[in-house]
Chains A and B, each alone.
Chain A
Amino acid sequence: MLSDRDLALKSLQYRLQTLELIHSAGAGHTGGGLSCLDILNVLYNRILRVSPETFGDAARDRYVQSKGHAVEALYVVLADRGFFPFSDLETVCHYESDYVGHPTRKIPGIEQNTGALGHGLPICVGMALAARMDRTGSRVFTLLGDGEIAEGSNWEAAMAGAHYKLSNLTAIVDCNTLQISGHTSQVMNSEPLDEKFRAFGWGVRVVDGHDLAALTEALSGPAEADKPTAVIARTIKGRGVSFMENVAKWHHGVPSDAELAQARTEIAAAIAALKGGAL
């Protein structure tokens, strides 16, 4: 397992790679990718029992990215984990490329085609039920956006997850407080999310979604026996790049050459600080 410092370095490296990918593709979901990268980092480097070699195993853990628009962050993490070479990502959003702007099963490591919101949690309820029927021991994870929570299908699935006591199911909500047209609290308030999930019969953990140690702990097992787990991750949209943080236009803003250069400088400084701090 990676050390805490190496895990933190991964987060910085993933941020830079995600920005470079969006810059070269000329399209992408920047802010929400940066807000969920620490979650993806912890999932793929600490929690999920998946690898390119074992991806065909029935007993693998499942991750379904319901907020499919943050696909660039997922592509970067999957490439780093060896599911495909980084060079594949040069074709993202290109003519006839399999790497489209939302997850598809054509890409090694991706479980389901997502992108329309409110689909991941119902699918994961089905996966968690199958894992229980077959006693595989698989855990099933989905990542939702806080804007996405307004889709009613999530709450149909939340009811079912509790009804079937799916303790092998975890829903992570990337609560970055913004969505495409502004503040989630103003567009359609979803708070208090923890109370909503508790009322639906879930175990709930509320964590700083950029604290790798806290995320590791929150995702390590069910919050309560015989209940599915909701991890409410408090995050910052555009996290890690000063001029992108908490700015709604970076939902799908594409950095210019100059903006990428500035982001690169900031991230390089953070990497140097992290490396320096460990010396």
Chain B
Amino acid sequence: MFSPEAVALAKECGLVMGRANLEEFAATLEALARADRNVLAVTSDSRGSGKLAPYGKALPEQIVEVGIAEQNLVGVAAGLASCGKKVFAVSPACFLTARSLEQIKNDVAYSDNPVTLVGISAGVSYGALGTTHHSLHDFAVLRAINNLVVVAPADNAETAFAVRAAAALGKPVYLRFGKAAVYSLPGDKDLALGRARLVRPGSDLAFIASGETVAHAHLAAEKLARTHGLQARVLSLHSIKPLDSAAVLAAARECRAVITVEEHLVNGGLGEACAALIAQSGARCRLHIAGIPDEPTVSGSQADIFRHYGLTMEGLHAAALKLLA
């Protein structure tokens, strides 16, 4: 995922590599489930890919398998949740948020059943498997559904927080996890749903990023400081919805330029959400939406795809200089 130069810079900055957010999710869920018998995982032949095999062994009464049937996964999860269960419906994000979108809309969000939908191996985590296995639409479609919190954690701390917050919230939630190991990021330790996490202060420009792209944005900010003396603010917008409009608008007002970064199509995702907010506020700043363009996605690994579309440290560094030029 990271170039040798990025890895070296991360080391210089003291960043420590954590585990995959997916693994952090599974460990956190198991801890929650051990303490509360009403916590359930529902899987669609996805306990292996969801890192839930140990959970399933330890708590066989608290995992429900529905087979390869994502519509049924979400419907069953809604029925369980309506009876007081704290349900985590776990399935690859590509299938969960497309095949079962109507179940998400009606059975979870509209019926207000407190299901936590867990989209695993999201974005282009399954890079080389091709477009069938990519979820580059999920922010866009889920943002357009009322009564659904959408969260894409950047690191293990955000992941553990998000899993616990979702279980406690008692409302429909979508959590989006990648499967690559991620750096543990500096910045705010006190996290809240709907509130951006300030990873790095700065006011020359701002990176507003989410999920696994935040670490790349953070390294780009470090590189900009070293190469050009520019101080870039880095915000982790783990909550895509509700969006922290105050933090986004503060960035737009206080910085000369804003770059949004997401492992998602540029259509309808974090960038367009921020752009709509900024445009309607009257704030004026240069804006670039970094993401996957609306074209047949290049083939290759997640790292290849990030590099191809400029979502790495190097690409974001270059985009920042171009935007400020």
On A, residues with C-beta under 8 Å from B are 58, 105, 111-116, 118-119, 121-131, 133-134, 152-153, 156-157, 159-160, 163
B1 adjacent to chain A (CB < 8 Å): no
The chain B residues found within 8 Å of chain A, CB to CB, are 61, 64, 66-67, 69, 71-72, 74-85, 102-103, 106-107, 110-113
In the bound complex, do residue A153 and residue B75 qualify as a contact, i.e. CB atoms below 8 Å apart? yes
Q: Which residues of A contact B66 (CB under 8 A)?
A: 156, 160
6 pairs of residues in contact across A and B, judged by CB atoms under 8 Å: A58-B84, A121-B75, A122-B72, A127-B82, A129-B79, A134-B83
Taking the nearest CB of chain A, how far is it from the CB of B251, in angstroms?
38
Cα A28 to Cα B81 with chains together (Å): 30
Query: What is the CA–CA distance of A97 and B102 in the complex, to the nearest angstrom?
Result: 24
Chain A residues near B102 (CB-CB < 8 A): 116, 119
Residues of A near B112 (CB, < 8 A) are: 105
Partner of B107, one of A123, A129, A134, A163: A123
- Pair A160/B111 contact, Cβ less than 8 Å: no
A160, B69: Cβ atoms closer than 8 Å? yes
B113 CB contacts on chain A under 8 angstroms: 112
Q: Are B75 and A111 in contact (CB under 8 A)?
A: no
Given A113-B107, A127-B83, A156-B71: 19 more A-B contacts, CB < 8 Å: A112-B113, A114-B106, A116-B102, A119-B75, A119-B103, A122-B78, A123-B107, A125-B79, A126-B75, A126-B81, A126-B83, A129-B80, A130-B83, A130-B84, A153-B72, A153-B103, A157-B72, A159-B67, A160-B67
- Nearest residue (CB) in B for A115 is B106
User: Is B76's CB under 8 angstroms from A112's CB?
Assistant: no
Counting chain A CB atoms within 10 Å of each CB, the highest count among B71, B74, B75 belongs to B75
Take A113-B106, A130-B85 as given contacts and tell me if A105 and B111 are in contact as well, using a CB distance cutoff of 8 Å.
Answer: yes
B72→A129 contact, CB < 8 A: no
Q: Which B residues are CB-close (under 8 A) to A118?
A: 71
For the complex, what is the distance from the CA of A156 to the CA of B75, rounded to whole Å? 10
Q: How far is A163 from B74 in the complex, measured between Cα atoms in Å?
A: 17
In the complex formed, the residue of A with least CB distance to B72 is A156
Set of chain A residues within 8 Å of B83, measured between Cβ atoms: 58, 126-127, 130-131, 134
Whole-angstrom CA separation of A41 from B254 in the bound complex: 65
Q: Kindly list chain B residues whose C-beta atoms are within 8 Å of the C-beta of A129.
A: 64, 76, 79-80
Dominant secondary structure of chain B at its interface with chain A = helix
Closest Cβ of chain B: how far from A41's Cβ, in Å? 25
Of B83, B84, B107, the most chain A CB neighbours within 10 A belong to B83
Task: Determine the residue in chain A with the shortest Cβ distance to B87.
Answer: A126
Contact residue among A122, A127, A160 (Cβ-Cβ distance under 8 Å from B103): A122
Least CB distance, B108 to chain A, in whole angstroms: 10
* B64 nearest CB neighbor, chain A only: A129
Knowing A124-B79, A134-B83, the reply to whether A116 touches B106 (Cβ < 8 A) is yes
Indicate whether A157 sits within 8 Å of B64 (C-beta atoms), given known contacts A58-B84, A116-B106.
no
**Bound form: Cα–Cα A131–B76 in Å:** 13
A256 → B minimal CB distance (Å): 33
A113 to B75, CA, bound (A): 12
Instruction: Kindly provide the distance from the CB of B187 to the nearest chain A CB, expressed in whole angstroms.
Output: 39
Minimum distance in angstroms from A9 CB to a CB of chain B? 34
Q: A58-B83, A105-B112 are in contact. Are A125 and B75 (CB under 8 A)?
A: yes
Task: List, in ascending order, chain B residues with CB within 8 A of A112's CB.
Answer: 78, 82, 107, 111, 113
CB neighbours of B80 from chain A (8 A):
126-127, 129-130
Shortest C-beta distance, B198 to chain A (Å), equals 39
Q: How far is the CB of B145 from chain A (nearest CB, A)?
A: 13
> Using Cβ atoms and an 8 Å threshold, which residues of chain B touch A122?
71-72, 74-76, 78-79, 103, 107
Query: Could you say which residues of chain B place their CB within 8 Å of the CB of A126?
Result: 75-83
Q: B70 to nearest A CB, angstroms?
A: 9
Chain B positions within 8 Å of A125 at CB level = 72, 75-76, 79
* Cβ-neighbour of B82 out of A111, A157, A160 (below 8 A): A111
Q: How long is the Cα–Cα vector from A240 to B240 in the complex, in angstroms? A: 53
Closest to B110 in A: A113
CB distance from A243 to the nearest CB of B (A): 35
Which of chain A's residues have a CB closer than 8 A to the CB of B72? 122, 125, 153, 156-157, 159-160
CB-defined contacts of B106 to chain A, threshold 8 Å: 113-116, 119
* Nearest B residue (CB) for A136: B83
The residues of A that contact B82 with a CB separation of less than 8 Å are: 111-112, 123, 126-127, 130
Chain A residues closer than 8 Å to B81, beta-carbon distance: 126
Write out the residue numbers on chain A whose beta carbons fall within 8 Å of the beta carbon of B79.
Answer: 122-130
Assembled-state Cα–Cα distance A31/B112 (Å)? 30
Cβ distance A190 to chain B, nearest Cβ, rounded Å? 18
Report the minimum CB–CB distance from B148 to chain A (whole Å): 14
A127 to B107 CA separation, bound complex (whole angstroms): 13
